Structure 1
């Protein structure tokens, strides 16, 4: 029986999301006959962990659905075993890269990838803790419907099960390693208030993340589509297409990935940096592997803590670090575009060696561009005034630290990419070993 991982990282109480995901898991079992491991990696404090654990305990057992709820202690125990078994030169560094003390979007997804490997899953289906499903005639539009129709299958076979095909016949034997929808609702980066306050300042700030080597008209066009997903395109009827996806059509919180993708390339372990979880998607798209794009978009919404006080400053600093990270990522992405199908082996799988070469080559990039980025941000934030003036002061006080951290993040990613194959093998060998016992036992409607 095919075993898949429906995965949720969370750093906040989200009992409603856990209940929703259990429904999606049950739908997958009933519709596709798979075994679903619902893996919740929870880094909340004790009180909020208990709320999530109560939600897990209240789930109705469903045959074929196994729920694993892991808190900090059990995640650390699992990752320590993996790091030590992987044979890397510095297991403590690997452990820090996987479970740092700060918010790390790439690291939390990397933990899900290792968890999926430990569980013997063939695919990972990623969601987040601040979304809703679209509902039509009382039914939730679960993305896993399209994901399990296609993930891992030869693209030529998938063409019969999608709405339309844009597949190159030469790619018919290649596996579908990516199935994704997008999102509707609020911007997936919480900067909409800047747009409301001053559209010109918004455009100048967003332009900072566009590739500086592009012509002005292309950079402006990128600003127009950035962070908007599918806009407000409400679901009507299922639509899906197989072919080489456009990077703008994929969304990391509404995606299924084949194990032959995430077991090769980990995401950036950058701390306090949004957007650090997209490098693998670039590798899949730029290597011209076929994927499926569908319209079961999730509904994005914001949690209130990122709008006021320290929560506002902390979130906006993550956006600043995202802008600075692009100095080191764009050389990698550009190299991926140049390599194209050269990133694939004879079995159409990703090769890590050429990608690792690109990552290592980006580390010593001249940081003049990032100094300019911080200069522009300082001017723009002060022009906005109010709480953005406070933000400008915080960024200015951390200027050298931010510049240094952006480079260090690139260096640490290179370390993790080089160690990843050993860590995946170690995770498979170790298994999770009942790690769901810290606060909530694994819930299984069928015999394990």
Structure 2
């Protein structure tokens, strides 16, 4: 609750009038002071009355690619029995306030407002909560309250279609990749039985020991395994305009494009960052993780991997990422981490056979650490974004793609012949 300048003046006048009236025995001054104090007390009671409002918001859609249209529909309903006075309501859409007319809303009635959500920058746009301001008729006291939860709208990086997909070190005998998820006899892990599993895959010895059916999980070793390493260091993307590094935005688009192409072909793919994430990697799918690296501010296309998320009706209000491209919207450029440490982790874990490294102009001096991974990863491709000069030929013996943005990367990627 906040007293306005008018209310402060009236309060001061009430104190002076009451003091002078009692001190000098002027009943007229005492009456005026009491009237001023009573008006201020009535204003406090009027502003403190809390109307029962129910707020429902619907994002259409809640996940879009950068530059695609998104809208928010806000419905405010008067759930109380008493008629609500005219209220001043403002919804928050990112950094932009959106006025919401709540004028003489009768009990049981509602009002609906629809407005566009800015999607010009990749990131997470928080929408809400609704801020309702009440003031007394004399404008002496102002009280603001929040209604409803904040709902995130995920703006994912643009996805550029890629025709070529790395075939990796493992290939089928007829020269093509066979996307058979459980087709080989290579054991990977044990998991609980679910309806539809074949009984021949039940591991009876383990099932007898734990008291429930356990099933062998096999992997197809003929499938290539792709690892995408996104360089999210500040040093790798030194050129920033208004806090945004376009080279990093382009690298995010390339990461999302490679991962989407791999998912389309049913190929295993892992997304990593040079500066490691704080969230557990197993909690999300890799496609959404590619969308959450932001350039200088917290703040990308996921859901089912198509970039067309469903409708959000407010969710749980936590704003937690729910898919892979969402994660590229929550990770920011940071000064932590080095490419040498990331290369050491890749060498130790050996997560795949095809490594795709995406960095900026400031990361070219560290490509020697990536070149040292050629023994662990038979195929290594490096994408350098936003460099003023091309990378010297044969740098660290790697396949280096020098491009300006994500669209140019997609064009060059399809032209790479040596994986």
Please report the TM-score for the alignment, with normalisation by the length of structure 2. Answer: 0.20
Q: Structure 1 or 2: larger strand share? A: 2
Please report the TM-score for the alignment, with normalisation by the length of structure 1. Answer: 0.19
Decide which structure has the larger Cα Rg and report it: 2
Q: Structure 1 or 2: larger helix share? A: 1
Ranked by relative contact order (alpha carbons within 8 Å, sequence separation 6 or more), the top structure is 1
